[in-house]
Chain A
Amino acid sequence: MVIPAQTLRHSFLRHNKKFPHVWCPGCGNGIVMAALLRAIYRLDVSKDDIVLASGIGCSGRMPTYLDFNTLHTTHGRALTFATGVKLARPSLNVVAIMGDGDATAIGGNHFIHAARRNLNLTAIIINNSIYGMTGGQYSPTTPFGARSTTSVYGHIEHDFSIAELAVTAGASFVARATVYHAELMDRLIEQAMRKRGFAVVEVISNCHVQYGRRNKLGGAVEMIRRFKEQAVTVSRAKRMSAEELEGKITIGVLKDRELPISTEEYKKVRQRARASRGGKV
């Protein structure tokens, strides 16, 4: 089903917000935003019931433009605010949108504990391997050897995989896409939002301005084309050796499992508390 861009614009963009947005031409953030809106369109939930929380960075500006209950929090803390919103009003559909540095450096502790806690939340992480807004410093997903404004002699630390971290930390649903795979991405986001439990979608994105330029990776088109070449599906990746997977991006659903959800479990805690206290406080 093709959803006309005009439908998305008129349904979900804020009419009273002063555009333009802050993103550079060719930025992957817009592709992620459109995929999120297509997913929400198909979910067919009221805009009043959606909360979109973000942290700090280029990704952090996304909620500003969208006509939901939107919350632009402090750096790395989107999931902590989202946790409070969800626990206080479990009927709300809460999505946190973060960047790689936001979610896994300054917010790394919150990210692994949100995964472990398994609230019914959705986390979308736009991973462009760099701190874009502050001028191109290295992040936890900047590859070994890469150039950034704080690693001009080559990066000496190793990156980690956000999706694999989420699986290990206990998330119910973990998926990965790239900004080339826009239609896959919106299906994964839709699946994540339907999933009961903590659901993570990592999106590999391009920051040609801060990352591509310094690492001779070309502009937006070249970077996004490279994602297409690097991508292998989960099923194909299973048949490949570690050497063959070197430099590849595995896309699709990496983990989908049923685990107790703490929002549901807390209902039982309330029943036990009421029973044991006989209605007394």
Chain B
Amino acid sequence: MPESAQTTARQLLQGNEAVVHGALAAGCRFFAGYPITPASEIAEHLSVLLPAVDGTFIQMEDEIASIGAVIGASLAGVKAMTATSGPGFSLMQENLGFACVAEVPCVIVNVMRGGPSTGLPTSPAQGDVQMARWGTHGDHPVVVLAVSSVLDSFSITVKAFNIAEKYRVPVILLSDEVVAHTREAVQLPPQNEIKVVDRIRPSMPPDWYKPYEGDNRGVPPMAAFGDGYRHHVTGLIHDEHGYPTQNRKEIESFHERMARKISRGFPDIQMTRGFHTRDAEVLVIAYGSVARSALRAVEDARSKGLKAGLLQLITLFPFPRSTVTPLLKQCRAVLVPEMNMGQISREVQRVNQCDCRIVKHNRVDGQFITPMEITRDLLKL
């Protein structure tokens, strides 16, 4: 049990360090990764801490290998994570699809930097949002979460593992260069106050076990390699036994279950935070580090008499429509500030079933969006 989580002492931590402590508190005992700015501190800290708790750290030859090893470790029954940034996240996409199809719980941290390609390695950006949802080919279930602060980097990392384990799905945790490298004084909760979810393991005799037969939630119990439940795991579309299938009914029911297991979990998976939303007439929808600028901007606008509110998205995908849509009905205008060309504003527009005016505020110059910029835009709404 990490000491950092047992004590309630305040400590000065960087976002990347807080991800490490969150992962350990959630029970992560395996990390495979490859060096990349601005995510490398996660690997460095875990290389020190994991062996001290009987966990395993390995630096692989590239990001493709890193996520491969993470999937392998999870199949062997160990909670596993990797961390990277844009270029590495691009390399992970194929195996990310494998984790989706084979339903392998794991956490992939992407500390976003400016892109595309080598881009702006040391500058903040939020350009990987749609890629996190749709980067791997084919229709697939995946959960994307975004952290906005050092404390979030701890608690949302724990949530990421819990969702991965509960729904047998890869969870992508989006951080950004600002959150990752900002140091803040934080008080982490003691371990006994942290809710940790573990995958459900099969309880039936091995002969009865069908590795891809969903329970009532659509999530199959997961046996680890070596537990006596010998089974087949493949990236091919498979039947309930895990064997490849071309049968159209089996293919269809596979895809249907993949979608259903996530949609049934919407209330649990879709996390948002509202600030001053109750009486808001204008709203900011923001996520990641920008949500913190947005909160300050909303408070400034309120002090100037504008009834402004903030909806901070923690879950980006599945997009929290049931929270966003009523607020669009309530507010006359919504501002979506993002460090990209408008990757979440298009989701907001998609769920806009009324005449709410959606205004974008985009920065792609490698600079952070300040509270002043958002206040200025808010006052124009």
> When each residue 243-281 of chain A gets 1 if its CB lies under 8 Å from chain B and 0 otherwise, what string results?
000000000000000000000001001101110110111
The segment from A76-84, A177-185, A210-218 found at the interface with B is A76-84
Classify the secondary structure of B's interface with A.
Answer: mixed
Interface residues as binary, A39-50 with B (CB distance below 8 Å gives 1, 0 otherwise)? 000000001110
A70 and B70 CA atoms in complex are apart in Å by 16
Please name all residues of chain B whose beta carbon is closer than 8 Å to the beta carbon of A14 when the two chains form the complex. Answer: 232
A80 adjacent to B230 (CB under 8 Å):
no
CB closest chain-A residue, reference B241: A16
When the two chains form their complex, are residues B234 and A87 in contact, meaning their CB atoms are under 8 A apart? no
Number of B residues near A (Cβ < 8 Å) is 52
Q: Say which residue of A72, A91, A273, A274 sits within 8 Å of B234 (CB atoms).
A: A72
Q: Tell me if B69 and A73 are in contact (CB < 8 A).
A: no
Give the CA-CA distance A92 to B225 in the complex, in Å. 8
Contact of B243 among A18, A266, A269 (CB under 8 A): A18
Asked if B80 and A88 make an inter-chain contact with CB atoms under 8 angstroms apart, the answer reads yes
Q: Is B54 an interface residue (CB 8 A)?
A: yes
B77 pairs with A270, CB closer than 8 A: no
The stretch among A61-69, A125-133, A138-146 that forms the contact with chain B is A61-69
In the complex, are the beta carbons of A88 and B72 less than 8 A apart?
yes
- Asked if B232 contacts A80 (CB within 8 A), the reply is no
Q: Are B51 and A87 in contact (CB under 8 A)?
A: no
- Interface residues in B54-108 by Cβ distance below 8 A to A read 54, 56, 58, 60-62, 64-66, 68-78, 80, 94-95, 98
Which residues of A lie under 8 Å from residue B37 when comparing CB positions? none
Are B72 and A68 closer than 8 Å at their CB atoms? no
Closest to B24 in A: A281
Interface size class on chain A is 35 or more
Q: Which of B228-287 contact A (CB under 8 A)?
A: 228, 230-236, 241, 243-244
Contact present for A71 and B233 (CB under 8 Å): yes
**CB neighbours of B72 from chain A (8 A):** 53, 71, 80-88
Q: State how many angstroms separate the Cβ of A239 from the closest Cβ of chain B.
A: 38
With an 8 A cutoff between CB atoms, is A110 at the interface?
Answer: yes
* Complex contact B76–A88 (CB within 8 A): yes
A89 interface residue per 8 A CB criterion: yes
Q: Are A84 and B233 in contact (CB under 8 A)?
A: no
Residue from the list B60, B61, B71, B232 in contact with A70, Cβ < 8 A: B232
| A113 interfacial by beta-carbon distance below 8 Å | yes
Query: Do B80 and A64 have beta carbons less than 8 Å apart?
Result: no
The answer to whether the Cβ of A74 comes within 8 Å of any Cβ in the partner chain is yes
A53 proximity list for chain B (CB < 8 A): 72
- Take A69-B226, A92-B226, A270-B52 as given contacts and tell me if A84 and B234 are in contact as well, using a CB distance cutoff of 8 Å: no
Contact flag A72-B65 (CB < 8 Å), given A88-B72, A273-B48: no
Check B95 against A77 for contact (C-beta < 8 Å): yes
Given contacts A64-B232, A92-B76, A270-B54, contact A85 B64 (CB under 8 A): no
The answer, among A16, A49, A74, for a CB contact under 8 Å with B95, is: A74
Q: Which residues on B sit within 8 Å (CB–CB) of A49? A: 226
Cβ distance A58 to chain B, nearest Cβ, rounded Å = 14
Check A89–B234 contact: CB distance below 8 A. no
At the interface, yes or no: B355 with Cβ under 8 Å from chain A?
Answer: no
Return A12 CB to nearest CB of chain B, in Å: 11
Query: Which residues of B (21-41) have their CB < 8 Å from a CB of A?
Result: 24, 29-30, 32
Residues of B within 8 Å of A73, CB to CB, are 68, 71, 98, 235
Which partner residue on chain B sits nearest A46 by CB separation? B228
Query: Does the CB pair B94–A81 fall under 8 Å?
Result: no
* A84:B225 contact, CB within 8 angstroms: no
Do A47 and B230 form a contact, CB below 8 Å, given A80-B68, A80-B69? Answer: yes
